Structure 1
Amino acid sequence: MIDTPRARLAQGLALAIPALLLGGAYISQYGFDLYPCEMCWWQRWPHFAALGLALLSTVIEPRKLWVALAALAIIASGAIGGFHAGVEYGWWEGITGCATTAVADGADALDAILNAPMIRCDTAPWDLFGISLAGWNFLISVGAGLTILALLMKRA
């Protein structure tokens, strides 16, 4: 049972962090045309898993276990984001052939494919203070995941 204030905070963070980061990803994609590359998608999958695990923690025992697993999934997304940021900054090589095309919904499929821009994994389409979206995912996800785990480990 989630019975301490720290454990409840950990559970709340495990629900909020992936929801907010996924929300931001979809807003940037559909609101600002920042289409995801393949590695961007890789970062989303652990957040979906974390959200599901955190939701399980609200109904199934042992609740702290589900929150801890959600925290590990959040950290996994951050680790992928750190690798992706390193590729964007040119610190190391990425996965060969890592690119995807943006598809226009509702248009002719062939025209959408032929006219879609190529989204490369080694180019940051946007940054804030010199940190790309993948870099921000690394910083936020690893920090939040470790915070959640620390909150779960403390007594009282």
Structure 2
Amino acid sequence: MAGALGSQYLGGLYPCEMCHWQRWPHYAAIAVALVAFMVTGGARRALVVVAALLIATSGAIGVFHAGVEYGWWPGITGCTSTVQAGGSVEDMFSKIMAAPMIRCDVAQWTLGGVSLAGWNAIVSIPSALVILWLAVKR
């Protein structure tokens, strides 16, 4: 999440709708993991498993999003906007016309030919598998 938020707020890469979809399970995983630190025994293990499944879910959404970016399949969402509501109709129109349009089917940034959604999948799915393996390992 630090990388995603850093790229947004420090790097100026505005997230599209599917980028936000990938973030929600990570936010939930962080919350579940924090609760896991406060409990003991089987409840802790169960919460760690839930957090791992949430991380895997984000990775799966990343696979879908990367596929949309690479044109492997069509997306199911429209573009999003960074415009904040408020002001007169003329002000809103000016904001809309000046705002960047963030398309879900175009990667804003790549590293080694892999988009941020692809990197999310590459990192999240194996990480979730390791966490699950460690959670069930005695």
TM-score by length of 1: 0.79
**2:71 counterpart SS class:** coil
RMSD of Structure 2 on Structure 1 (CA): 2.0
- Give, in angstroms, the shift of residue 23 of structure 1: 1.0
1:39-118 equivalence runs, <5 A = 39-61=18-40, 62-97=43-78, 99-103=79-83, 110=92, 111-118=94-101
Answering whether residue 123 of structure 2 is matched by residue 140 of structure 1, we say yes
Q: Where does structure 1 lack aligned partners over 5 or more consecutive residues?
A: 1-21
Report percent identity of matched pairs: 56
**1:95 counterpart SS class:** coil
Structure 1 stretch displaced more, 50-59 or 111-120 = 111-120
Question: Which letter maps to 2:80?
Answer: T
Answering whether residue 132 of structure 2 is matched by residue 149 of structure 1, we say yes
Counterparts of 1:26 and 1:122, CA distance in 2: 20
Q: Where does structure 2 lack aligned partners over 5 or more consecutive residues?
A: none
CA distance 1:96–1:50, change in 2 (3 Å): closer
Question: Which letter maps to 1:135?
Answer: G
Query: Which 4+ stretches in 1 moved above 3 angstroms?
Result: none
Count of aligned residue pairs for this structure pair: 133
